[in-house]
Amino acid sequence: MNAPFQPAATSLDQLKVGIRARVTGIRWEALDDGTSQRLRHFGFDEGVGVEALHLGPIGRDPIAIRVGRMTVAIRRRHAAAIDVQPIR
């Protein structure tokens, strides 16, 4: 179990809009090479601050995510490979 007052660790696709979080790990093996490269280009890396900003109109997909200082759109299933720890 998680410590009290510490929000539960989750994956980026489950992160609620408006909650800031920090990337704790990326399961690169679950992603193809092209996707991995783009995520690196966008600056996804352990320790980077992220926040879900907007959700797509159909099926809440894709997700607009603030990563570092920029905003990117990625699909839900790619976001699922990114583990995050919400910050209170």
Partner 1 sequence: MNPLPLVALTGSPNAGKSALFNALTGARQKVGNYPGVTVERHSGKLMLGDGRPAELVDLPGAYSLEPASPDEAVTRDVLLGRQKGERQPDALLIVVDASNLDNHLRFALQLIELGLPTIVALNMVDLARRDGLELDPKVLERELGVPVVETVAVRRRGIAELQAAIDDMLSAPVCGVHERVKEDLIHLQRRAREIATAAVVSETPVRRWTHRLDSVLLHPIGGPLILAAIMFVMFQAVFAWSQAPVSWIEDAVAFLSGQASAALPAGLLRSLVVDGAIAGVGAVITFLPQILILFFFILLLEGTGYMVRAAFLMDKLMHGVGLSGRAFIPLLSSFACAVPGIMATRTIDDPRDRLTTILIAPLMTCSARLPVYTLIIAAFIPNTRLAWGVGLQGVVMFGLYLFGIVGALLAALVIRRGVMKGGGGGFMMELPKYQWPPFKDVALGILTRAQIFLKRAGTIILGTTLLLWALASFPQAAPGQKQSEVSVAGKIASAIEVVVRPIGFNHEISLALLPAMAAREVAVSAIATVYSIDSSDDAASAARLEERLHGRWSLPTALAFLAWFVFAPQCISTIAVTRRETNGWKWPLVMVSYLFVLAYVAAGLTYWTAVWLGL
User: What contacts 24+ positions apart, CB below 8 Å, involve 57-63?
Assistant: 63/12, 63/13
Residue 40 as a binder of partner 1 (CB under 8 A): the answer is yes
Q: How far is the CB of 72 from partner 1 (least distance, A)?
A: 5
Nearest approach in angstroms of CB 1 to partner 1 is: 32
Distance CA 64, CA 62 (A): 7
Dihedral of CA atoms 17, 19, 24, 25 in degrees, nearest 10, equals 0
Q: Does 83 bind partner 1 (CB under 8 A)?
A: no
* Minimum CB distance to partner 1, residue 9 (Å): 22
Interface residues toward partner 1, by CB under 8 A:
34-35, 37-43, 45, 48, 53-62, 64, 68-75, 77-78
